[in-house]
Amino acid sequence: MPSQQRAERTRQRLVRAAATEFARHGYDATSLVRISKRAGVTMGGLAFHFRAKLDLAKAIYTDGAAATRAAVIQVGERDQTPLQSVIDITHTLARLLTEDPTVRAAGRLSQEVEQVQASWADSWMPRVRELLRQAGRQRLLRPSAEPETVGLLVRYLVSGMEMATRDDEDRPGLPRRLTAIWDMVLPGIANDPERLRTAAPADPSGA
Judged against a pLDDT cut of 60, whether residue 206 lies above it is answered with: no
| Residue 50, SS3 per DSSP | coil
φ, ψ (nearest 5 deg) of residue 132: -70, -35
Containing 70, the helix (H) or strand (E) segment is helix 53-76
Tell me which of 1.20.90.10, 1.10.3720.10, 2.40.160.60, 1.10.357.10 is the CATH number of domain 54-195.
Answer: 1.10.357.10
How far is the first Cα of the chain from the last one, in angstroms, to the nearest whole number? 38
Structure confidence by residue, pLDDT tens digits, 97-112: 999 999 999 999 999 9
Structure confidence by residue, pLDDT tens digits, 128-171: 999 999 999 999 999 999 999 999 999 999 999 999 988 877 78
Neighbours of 183 (CB within 10 A): 13
Cα(145)–Cα(166) distance, integer angstroms: 31
* 99 within 8 A of 47, measured Cβ to Cβ: no
Listing DSSP states for 188-206 in one string gives GTBSSGGGS--SPPSSTT-
Cα(115)–Cα(59) distance, integer angstroms: 12
Bridge partners of 41, per DSSP, are none
Judged against a pLDDT cut of 90, whether residue 76 lies above it is answered with: no
Radius of gyration of the chain (CA): 19
Reported pTM: 0.90
pLDDT at 1: 57
Using alpha carbons only, what angle is made at residue 167 by residues 90 and 70, rounded to the nearest 5 degrees?
A: 35
